[in-house]
């Protein structure tokens, strides 16, 4: 058995990954409390140590630059050099761009991830895969800010959400 990896600080901001199906509206609603810590404790806690901060629980369309500024401050204040942010997918690229500019030159490795299908109440969901992939990539990537979605790593300026196929992909050249 190998030693545990460096502590990862996880910051939840809500989004689909922390939503629950809401039958009356045939859609999902962001929960009041994140399910991410329990998921990780049950699945992979023996392999790494993590701390957790439920920052906000919002649909990503409700994340403003003021919230992004407070998120950047929280990232700077954490003692960990590995930070995982769960985030809604609709504005994940905008938050990536904001954090990349605000935290330029950081010594931390910061990854945003989320899901197209909520982890609570759905099977299959991409949420668990994306969390695990992001955690694995935190161990290998150099410092900087990234998105980890669907088995891909994106830097600022590279990612866009394809709403037709519900996947992140590399931006097309214009």
pLDDT, tens digit, 9 for 90 and up, residues 53-83: 999 999 899 999 999 999 999 999 999 999 9
DSSP letter, residue 25: G
Query: How is domain 10-150 classified at the CATH fold level?
Result: Rossmann fold (3.40.50)
Residue 5 CB partners (closer than 8 Å, separation 6+): 47, 48, 49, 139
State whether residue 163 is helix, strand or coil. coil
In whole angstroms, what is the distance from residue 102 CA to residue 76 CA? Answer: 10
Q: What's the pTM value of the predicted model, to 2 decimals?
A: 0.87
In whole angstroms, what is the distance from residue 158 CA to residue 68 CA? Answer: 19
Residue 33 CB partners (closer than 8 Å, separation 6+): 54, 57
Q: Where are the domains of the chain?
A: 10-150
Instruction: Give residue 1's pLDDT.
Output: 38
Q: What is the pLDDT of residues 37-53, one digit of tens each?
A: 777 777 765 667 888 99
Q: What is the pLDDT of residues 109-166, one digit of tens each?
A: 999 999 988 887 767 788 889 998 999 999 999 999 999 999 999 998 898 888 888 8
Query: Bridge-partner residues for 162, per DSSP?
Result: 167
State whether residue 2 is helix, strand or coil. coil
Is it the case that residue 103 has pLDDT exceeding 50? yes
Phi-psi region of 78 (alpha: psi -120 to 50; beta: other; left: phi over 0): beta
């Amino acid at each position: 058995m190998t030693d545990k990896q460096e502590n990862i600080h996880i910051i939840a901001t809500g989004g689909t990954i922390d939503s629950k199906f809401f039958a009356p509206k045939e859609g999902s609603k962001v929960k009041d409390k994140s399910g991410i810590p329990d998921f990780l404790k049950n699945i992979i806690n023996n392999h790494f140590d993590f701390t957790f901060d439920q920052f906000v629980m919002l649909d990503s369309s409700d994340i403003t630059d003021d919230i992004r500024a407070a998120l950047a401050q929280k990232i700077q204040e954490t003692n960990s050099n590995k930070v995982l942010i769960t985030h809604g997918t609709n504005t994940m690229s905008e938050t990536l761009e904001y954090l990349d500019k605000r935290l330029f030159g950081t010594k931390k490795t910061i990854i945003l991830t989320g899901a197209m299908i909520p982890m609570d109440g759905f099977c299959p969901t991409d949420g668990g895969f994306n969390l695990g992939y992001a955690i694995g990539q935190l161990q290998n990537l150099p410092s900087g800010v990234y998105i980890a979605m669907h088995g891909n790593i994106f830097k600022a300026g590279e990612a866009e959400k394809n709403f037709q196929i519900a996947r992140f992909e590399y931006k097309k050249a214009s």
